[in-house]
Amino acid sequence: MKKMTVEAFLNWAFTKELCKAGSGAGGGSAVMGTSWDAIADFAALGTLIDRSPNVYGVIPGFQEDGVPHPDALAAGNAVRGLASIGFDIPEGWNPFPEWSDDHGLVAAEVELMRIELEAKGDRLSGRHVAALVTTCAILKRGPDWSADKPREAMVTDPQGNPRWFVLSKSKDSLGRSYTVETDGYNRRAKRPVVGAYRKYRLTSSIRGMIIDRLEWQLWQDALAVVADRLRGDLESHLIMPFVPDRQPWTRRQYVEKNVA
């Protein structure tokens, strides 16, 4: 039995063996009609694609013809099986624990994005995660999670002057009280009103960074599922124990602090 990490095993299966399925030379005709995201990624990298991907999301016939190894078929089926699993994002999810967030701007943006992703559901679907694992197996690397926190700046008026805000209470037509945020600067007195405060904003969007770190964690969680399904189900390979590395960015922060 050959011992392999689940990442190395999937790379072998998807780049050396599963491309034989549907090749037309003994590999069967397992070809699917629509392309997965993994194939779109290959097109973006400039690879010439003139054949449909097979059921494993791999372009057949680009490698040696023949029948895929039984263990590779088990790998492909385990990854395909991810399509039946639903993934979610827990409340309070913090993909940037290494960032200071004194004004809560990062947490607020992450929560808005979490709600949006949960509502749409496409990026959390098992089908998307299966395509993600396929892509990472072929490219032999996981999603890029590196991210630098954008600067924070005060909210300003069109002239660039910092604005003041204040919370005021009011009542609607039914007499119900509610709170509204209004201008907190008294222009007649030329000073902020009592209880006024400043507001801050991020100077650039972190939406892409949120997606990147979500993709990393989805990939790690999916690898754990695949490794568990393959354990004891292979003829010639032994999958080494796998523990998801869900927050490698915290480890990098520790290393940078100690090196400095």
Whether 197 has a pLDDT exceeding 70, the answer reads: yes
> What is the model's pLDDT at position 52?
76
Contact 147, 96 (CB under 8 A): yes
> What is the model's pLDDT at position 24?
58
Average pLDDT over residues 138-166: 95
> What is the model's pLDDT at position 20?
87
> What is the model's pLDDT at position 211?
97
- Label residue 64 by pLDDT band (50, 70, 90): low
Dihedral over alpha carbons 226, 231, 233, 234 (to 10 degrees): 100
The span from the CA of 167 to the CA of 165, in Å, is: 7
> What is the model's pLDDT at position 28?
43
pLDDT > 70 in the chain, percent: 83
- Mean of all residue pLDDT scores within the chain: 86
Dihedral sign for Cα 105, 211, 239, 127, please: positive
Please return the burial class of 54, using the count of CB atoms within 10 Å of its CB with bins 0-12, 13-18 and 19+. Answer: buried
- Residue 239 sits at φ, ψ, to 5 deg, of -80, 125
Average pLDDT over residues 178-199: 94
In Å, how far from its chain's centre is CA 242?
A: 20
Structure tokens at 250: 């915290």
Per-residue pLDDT tens for 226-250?
999 999 889 999 999 999 999 999 9
- Label residue 23 by pLDDT band (50, 70, 90): low
Residues forming beta bridges with residue 47, ordered by sequence position: none
The span from the CA of 61 to the CA of 47, in Å, is: 14
Average pLDDT over residues 151-175: 93
> What is the model's pLDDT at position 1?
87
> What is the model's pLDDT at position 188?
93
Whether 3 has a pLDDT exceeding 90, the answer reads: yes
Q: Which residue has the tokens 């396929």?
A: 134
Per-residue pLDDT tens for 68-90?
999 999 999 999 999 999 899 99
> What is the model's pLDDT at position 185?
92
Which of these ranges, 14-18, 31-35, 104-108, 122-126, has the smallest mean pLDDT? 31-35
